[in-house]
Amino acid sequence: MPQLYIGNKNYSSWSMRPWVLLRQAGIDFEEIRVRFDSFEADSEFKRVMGPVSPTGKVPVLVDADLVVWDTLAIAEYLAETHPDKKLWPADAKARARARSVCAEMHSGFTALRGNCPMNIEADLAETGALIWRDKAGVRADVARLVEMWSALLKEHGGPLLFGEFTIADAYFAPVCMRLHSYALPLPPQIAAYVERVRNLPGVKAWIDDALAEKDFLDFEEPYRLRHV
């Protein structure tokens, strides 16, 4: 059985993607959670992850003697080893489009990710209102998401980006968490998509685990003094 190394579920957006993909697709795996005590060279996190991955980061998929340490590479590997799960769209053009939007997420939306770090447990609506007012880059990133998701939902008829659940929905699940936590303004059809993603069984399981952690890490939350 493959092992998936992840960080704190409340904070680790990169870990969330492959975990949700595996869980929602019904692929058996062993979860190994490595707490974010810090990312210094002498931290417990680095002590555990150093021997596992050449990057010393999460997520990492270990399948027998194979180590895969990039989220897109993990997704591609799972799609190839579990073709019956149909993790990419069946149509070649739709597949190319799905890969394109995942790659765009992988390397883009830096203003949204930098200003709105994932925090599932916190109500950050007031913080989100200030960010929305002051950060043009965040507004531009959200506008691009609205444009992208609206086109895909219209083209494929929903309820998800390519009709049924695919890697693309798993890939954007952490973005949905951010949009919800920071209460960023969205048109109704996009807000409805965010809620559909949040209610997917695999996503809901991650959210429930994140809420149960109750592990406040001050270096992950410079905008809060404590867990409330």
Which pLDDT tens digit goes with each residue over 86-110? Answer: 999 999 999 999 999 999 999 999 9
What residues does 67 pair with on adjacent strands? 62
Please give the tally of structural domains in the chain. 2
Q: Is 163 helix (H, G, I), strand (E, B) or coil?
A: strand
| Residue 126 falls inside a structural domain | yes
- pLDDT at 108 (0 to 100): 96
Contact 169, 23 (CB under 8 A): no
| Residue 220 falls inside a structural domain | no
> Considering the entire predicted model, what is its pTM?
0.95
State how far the Cα of 118 lies from the Cα of 143, in Å rounded to an integer: 19
- Tell me the average pLDDT across 111-133: 96
- The angle that helices 188-198 and 136-156 make with each other, rounded to 10 degrees, is 80
**Mean pLDDT, all residues of the chain:** 95
| Residue 101 falls inside a structural domain | yes
- pLDDT at 141 (0 to 100): 98
State how far the Cα of 124 lies from the Cα of 83, in Å rounded to an integer: 39
User: With pLDDT > 70 as the criterion, what percentage of the chain qualifies?
Assistant: 96
pLDDT at 117 over 80: yes
- pLDDT at 214 (0 to 100): 87
Which residue, 85, 105, 134, sits at the end of a domain? 85
User: Which range marks the domain in which residue 188 is found?
Assistant: 92-209
Q: How far apart are the first and last CA of the chain?
A: 38
